[in-house]
Amino acid sequence: MTSQKPGLQVLPTLTQDQERKVSDLLLAVSPELEANPPLKSWCTQSTLARFLQARDWNASQAEQKLRGTLEWRRTYRPDAITWADIEPEAVTGKQFRLPVKDKEGRAVLLMRPRNENTKGAERQLKYLVYNLEAACRAADEAGVGKMTWLIDFEGYSYRNAPPVTLALKTLNILQGHYPERLGLSVCYHPPRLFQITWKATKPFIDPVTHKKIVFIDHQDTTSMPQHFHMESIEQCMGGSLTSEQAFNLQSYKAEMEAEDARRLEAAGRM
């Protein structure tokens, strides 16, 4: 039950009881999976184990949570989102997957709120989901299965701060539909203004998720190198890269369009 394809998804060693619960959960949702090939492809043994782990291996709670995500994926279709759907959101580099992993081998999703360029919450969320899916694929290919969020608060202001409602929707998507995917969230030099959003969202953050959130001040020169390869990090966070070196739109566009083409071809959608 715990065998995985090399280089793809790594499961911790499960007990016999946990293996049984994974098998039982798969059996419970099999009708939905058989009726929807994209869901069947997505719902791997690792996926099932993550949902069980997120509910402390309570089978009924895990099934309820998984069914909610299956319905969300069936209707929202995150696997079908392509670069063409979200390109206007991507042009400023406000959010993108770094080309290198962190020091734990996790895929890194970098967020730079100062580069916010749109107002439409729905497409902003679609862009977030597109990047979450991309980070998950990279995490699985690396054999780690988890991602790191790096939020650079340089230039954060009332003009680019997301509404609290959008922050809560982001939290709901991450906790509700990507359980056990977050390995670490680094908030770099958050200003006092961020406390408004933090106070509004903190009560809704799962205790396990809360423990993964780290705040690093710009005067702290030792914490960032513990987590990241600083030659791949922007100068404003103590790294070596200029903003232009950190994100090149045309290169990133070509990378993501090629990735879209490969996964859609594999899914038989091209």
pLDDT at 9 over 50: no
In this predicted structure, the answer to whether residue 223 has a pLDDT above a threshold of 90 is yes
Q: Distance (Å, rounded) from C-alpha 92 to C-alpha 77?
A: 25
Burial 197-232 (b: 16+ CB within 10 A, else e): beeeeeeebeeebeebbebbeeeeeeebeebbeeeb
Tell me the per-residue pLDDT of 75-116, one tens digit each, with 9 for 90 and over: 999 999 999 999 999 999 999 999 999 999 999 999 999 999
Question: For residue 5, what is the DSSP state?
Answer: -
5 pLDDT higher than 70: no
Cα–Cα distance between 55 and 50 in angstroms, integer?
9
In a 3-state reduction of DSSP, which class is residue 112?
Answer: coil
Query: Does the predicted TM-score (pTM) go above 0.75?
Result: yes
The token pair that represents 229 in the structure block: 């390869």
Long-range contacts of 199-202 (CB under 8 A, 24+ apart): 200/164, 200/167, 200/168, 201/164, 201/167, 201/168, 201/171
Q: What is the mean pLDDT of residues 152-176?
A: 95
**Token pair for 32:** 């939905």
Q: Provide mean pLDDT across the span 174-183.
A: 97
> In this predicted structure, what is the pLDDT of residue 269?
66
pLDDT at residue 270 in the model: 56
**pLDDT tens for each residue of 58-78:** 999 999 999 999 999 999 999
Q: What is the pLDDT of residues 243-267, one digit of tens each?
A: 899 999 999 999 999 999 999 998 8
First to last CA, the chain: 32
Q: With a cut of 90, say whether residue 7 has pLDDT above it.
A: no
Report the pLDDT value the prediction gives residue 13, as an integer from 0 to 100. Answer: 84
Q: Position 155: which residue type? A: G
Rounded to the nearest integer, the mean pLDDT of the chain is: 93
* Chain centre distance of CA 52: 18
Q: What digits encode the pLDDT tens for the residues 129-149?
A: 999 999 999 999 999 999 999
d(CA 180, CA 139): 12
- Which of the two residues, 105 and 1, has the higher pLDDT score? 105
Please state, in angstroms and rounded to a whole number, the distance separating the CA atoms of residues 248 and 11. Answer: 34
Mean pLDDT of 208-227: 96
In this predicted structure, what is the pLDDT of residue 267? 81
CA-to-CA distance for 190 and 150, rounded, in angstroms? 12
4 has pLDDT over 80: no
With a pLDDT cut of 90, the percent of the chain lying above it is 92
What is the number of other CB atoms lying within 10 angstroms of the CB of residue 30? 12
Residue 2 predicted with pLDDT over 50: no
Query: Which of 248, 251, 260 is CA-nearest to residue 84?
Result: 260
Q: What is the mean pLDDT of residues 14-24?
A: 96
Alpha-carbon distance 54 to 180, whole Å? 6
